[in-house]
Amino acid sequence: MSSQYAITVPDSTVYLAENRMGKMPFTVSNMTDAPLRGKAAVVPLDDAPPAWFTVVRGADLNLAPKTSAQVLVQIDPPLGVDASTQHFRVDVTDADGAVVPGPSCEFVVPPSKKKFDPSTPRGYLATLVGSSVGGALGELVILLTTRAPAAKDCGGDVGCAFGDALGQIIFLVIAILFGLVLLWIGSVLGAGIGLRVRNYLGWKTTALFLAILMVPWTLLVLWLLSKVTDNLALVIILAPVLLTAVPGVVARASVLLIRTKHI
């Protein structure tokens, strides 16, 4: 019995670029006269680590009769792995659970450069820009969505005036805390997205390191700012840079040092 699907690939070997990342397209064709639904998945062969593979496009297949769709697989080995040749294939599982195996393919991980080249982009700028922009957007959200409660006209009522002042202070503290949380989330996401868009390796680890480093760094910077200025507007303006730039660069440098022995 012939297969419902035909799985083909333009080249059975992909050579990863210097950044050790590559993509391989597979074409899945519906060979029948009826519409078919299926799910494409990567099947690592031999000792190929499953975590290195991601189907970035076309995992869910909905094919009209006699039509084709592309399944794009991204190969992303972690920093520091040895040069090697790994094998994998793409299988399609139909709606009834039947599996159609694809052709065996291979990818070649190039050796790392033996000599450190300081001119090679390391991802610092992408981390810096991503974390700063993400932090600024986080602050912008809290500024646009938060409104302080209007002051009460308490006249000579001391209790009313005290309660109103206390409410204003509590609101300010909560707004600052929410602002810091959004700043933290925006910076971490921004750094990870910036590195990911530029195809730098280690973007997940860099984002994780930044998330950890920002906690003590934020406390330190806020303490220092309290000693230097009491201008809240100035603090809000400087916060995206002061609170994100330094930990972002340190996080990226730490990942590069651990994985490549160079910063």
What long-range pairs does 165-174 form, CB within 8 A, spacing at least 24? Answer: 172/148
pLDDT at 74 over 70: yes
Residue pair 40/56 in contact (Cβ under 8 Å)? The answer is: no
- Indicate the pLDDT class of residue 125, thresholds 50, 70 and 90: confident
CB 28 within 8 A of CB 71: yes
Residue 211 · residue 191 · CB < 8 Å: no
pTM for the full predicted model: 0.50
What's the pLDDT tens digit per position in 29-46? 999 999 999 999 999 998
pLDDT at 146: 65
Q: Which residue has the tokens 């599982």?
A: 93
What is the reported pLDDT for 117? Answer: 53
The domains located in the chain, with CATH, are 5-109 (2.60.40.10), 124-260 (no CATH)
What pLDDT does 1 receive? 45
Q: Give yes or no for residue 257 having a pLDDT over 50.
A: yes
State the pLDDT confidence band at 166, using cuts at 50, 70 and 90.
low
